Amino acid sequence: MRSTKRVFYVVFSLLLIFSLMLPLFGCSSSKSKSATTSQSSTSTKSSASGNPSPSTSSSGAVGQENLVYSFGPASGTDGQHPFGGVMLGSDGILYGTTRAGGANGTGTVFKLSTSGTESILYSFAVNGGPGGDARFPLGGVVMDNSGNLWGTASYGGNDNHGNGTVFEISATGKETLYSLVTSTIDATLPCSTLVVDAAGNIYGTTNGSGSGSSGSSGAGTVFKISGGVTSILYAFSAAAPTNGPFAGLITDGAGNFYGTTENTGPSGGQVFQITAAGVESTVYSFTSRKDGFDPVGLLARDSTGNIYGTTYAGGAYDQPGSSSPGTVFKISPSGNKTTLYSFGKSTNDGEKPYGSVILDSSGNLYGTTNAGGAYGYGTLFKVSSSGTMTILYSFGASAADGQNPSGAILLDSAGNIWGATQNGGANGTGTVFEYGLVNKSIATQSTPTARTSTTVMTSNTNGQSGNVLWGSPEGLVYISVPSGWNLNDAELYPGAAIGVADDANSVYLIVTERAQYEIKTNATIDDYLAAVKGSFAKILNNPYWGSTSNITIGGCKGLAVQVSGTKISDGSNVVYFVNVLTGVKQPNFYNVCGWTPSNMVDQNKATLEKVINSFHEVWPEKPNTSNTAIPNY
């Protein structure tokens, strides 16, 4: 039975490649596909391949989905049916794989600009048996420090069994294959996205293992590739009450990795930890269908060691033989598991979460379901740390919309979520989408009429005086800037809410938001300042911190300190004005930080301090009556 389950996952995937119509697990729904939608309407734009792609009128606007790219028709050479999601490279380009299509119909590795220009880096060959090329990649790709892309393919490879391989694609499109056959174990059926450590070592999982060409008798492996040599860190036992891992690994940065194994028999699957030395331990075992069943998506981990993930099936609304919609879970460092949410609670709820989950700085969790939603084609969802579910978007709202999202999603520094759908789009072969969580703009209006909703202000008048706004479903913060200032995303610290600059005078400012749980329980303003200080070690050589003074800005109490140093990135001497604030709505903290070259402090200090002091936090749940009208600079 163990090998039958793995054969089902991978062979059924291949059947879908040939049919090119259905989601991986055949997640059809009885819900109407012709229902009308109140979601953002779409228009048509031309993509790089000449295929029409629906697009919203404003990329990344709050609460709107933007279809960035529709993959090509079955008769063409473009990729088809992305399954592993997308990743954002250090060059600002999106990368991913398709499990079908390309020049030979066996899948591709693609690159895609955030504006929708796509190109094929590599098309896998037809000869995917023993001694041949890789075929049918299901996982996404990762980028190493040299800009090379690494991924897995469930079939093919240049070894003796053709049951999967690891591939490396250079920036010029050259492919190198790495065998998963070792002297003792044949690791087979790699289905997941890989992870690369700081030293350039590659880690991954396989769903099967065995010896010789059989390759499916074991329960999977965790492997490492270092210097081109494959080693098996851990081989799961065929006698254990679980199947092998289908998802990939995450790391805690200290040499430990975390992953999941599928269910078998009475076990609903497991979450495991494995050290760099190959020592494996069980973090949690799912005990019943109601507890959660089949954790096949990629996990997430917060800074305090809590692990988050989904189960593809099971949960409070599990009905064997009828419906098994899945769960979202949290596991504490001590191994205590909490079901944050069980899908199937409402009529238009999501079902079958299959891809990754990601965390934002406030502790909210984001993910996708492969089915369910208002139209039966899946959802993009948000779950708060307390378990409150919000369906952000239901896929399939129009004939050209994406359908059945899966694989990795990512949250960029501007607050947008990126991902892929297996099906749908202009040609029915899948899409890449963007969803705007926040909206940043420079606005000349003095009163933000939409400040109590999730849509803030949409006019972009860079270079004019006005208010720079950052909004989320929880609220709004703003600063006011004089004329000549512009949005400057190139200067954003990762995760910054606002980034602005007066480039002509070399003045820059960011606003970052963080939550108390990211530091420690019952964190104080001093704790947060200590965390901010730690981040400067990555920015400046030998930063010099001045004395700290108490401040109140926009009703938020905090601490101010001046920091001097030499930027690691370019060797320039700079002065930072760091203002750490306690949010009106606890447990949030803000860092309003401006900087300028050391030789321009006297020239820019007054203007920079005025912009910093314009910071205000406005929360719709507890409106500050003194800020009813937001003044211009």
233-271, pLDDT tens digit by residue?
999 876 655 578 999 999 988 889 999 998 755 678 999
Query: What confidence tier does 35 reach under pLDDT thresholds 50, 70, 90?
Result: very low
Of 436 and 458, the structure prediction assigns the larger pLDDT to 436
Confidence of residue 201 (pLDDT cuts 50, 70, 90): very high
Residue 511 is predicted with a pLDDT of 83
Q: What are phi and psi of 192, to 5 degrees?
A: -115, 170
Residue position matching structure tokens 């690369």: 196
Give the per-residue pLDDT at 522.
Answer: 66
For residues 412-439, average pLDDT: 87
Query: pLDDT above 90 covers what percent of the chain?
Result: 44
Higher pLDDT, 435 or 47: 435
Mean pLDDT across the stretch 134-156? Answer: 93
pLDDT at 613 over 80: yes
How sure is the predictor about 540, in pLDDT bands with cuts at 50, 70 and 90?
confident
383 Cβ contact list (under 8 Å, min separation 6)? 328, 340, 341, 364, 365, 366, 367, 389, 390
Give the confidence band of 476 by pLDDT, cuts at 50, 70, 90: low
Return the pLDDT at 218.
Answer: 66
CA separation for the pair 425, 344 (Å, rounded) = 26
CA distances from 292 to 271, 340, 352 (A): 12, 11, 11
The enclosing H or E element of 155 equals strand 155-156
When comparing pLDDT for 231 and 466, which is higher? 231
Lowest mean pLDDT among 17-21, 112-116, 193-197, 570-574: 17-21
Query: Is 250 strand, coil or helix?
Result: strand
At 323, is the pLDDT very low, low, confident or very high (cuts 50, 70, 90)? confident
Residues 6 or more apart whose CB falls under 8 angstroms from that of 272 comprise: 245, 258, 259, 260, 261, 280, 281, 282, 283
Identify the residue with better confidence: 2 or 194.
194
pLDDT tops 90 at residue 159:
no
**Is pLDDT larger for residue 320 or for residue 420?**
420
Read off the pLDDT of residues 108-127 as tens digits, 9 standing for 90 and up.
Answer: 999 999 889 999 999 998 87
Edge-to-edge strands, sheet with 202-206 = 195-196, 202-206, 221-226, 229-235
Higher pLDDT, 321 or 69: 69
3-class state of residue 501 by DSSP: strand
Is residue 447 within 8 A of residue 469, CB to CB? The reply is no
Question: Whose CA is closest to 609, among 509, 523, 522, 511?
Answer: 509
- The mean pLDDT of 21-43, rounded to a whole number, is 30
494: its two tokens: 């990762």
Lowest mean pLDDT of 8-22, 41-55, 568-582, 615-629, name the range: 41-55
- Ranges 149-153, 520-524, 526-530, 576-580, most confident: 149-153
Q: What is the pLDDT of residue 512?
A: 79
Mean pLDDT, range 213-229, rounded to an integer: 76
Q: Are strands 108-112 and 86-88 parallel, antiparallel or unpaired?
A: unpaired
More confident residue, 624 or 34: 624
Q: What is the tens place of the pLDDT at every residue in 558-600? A: 899 999 988 887 788 899 999 988 876 555 788 899 999 999 9
Does position 142 have pLDDT exceeding 80, yes or no? yes
Predicted pLDDT of residue 39 = 39
Q: Would you state the pLDDT for residue 303?
A: 86
pLDDT (0 to 100) of residue 305:
93
Mean pLDDT of the chain: 77
**Residue 493, class by beta-carbon neighbours within 10 Å (0-12 exposed, 13-18 middle, 19+ buried)?**
middle
Residue extents of the structural domains in the chain = 439-627
Per residue in 54-101, pLDDT (tens digit) is 222 233 344 678 899 999 998 889 999 999 999 998 888 999 999 999
pLDDT at 340 exceeding the cut of 90: yes
Name the CATH superfamily housing domain 439-627.
Mog1/PsbP, alpha/beta/alpha sandwich (3.40.1000.10)
Lowest mean pLDDT among 290-299, 306-315, 322-331, 447-456: 447-456
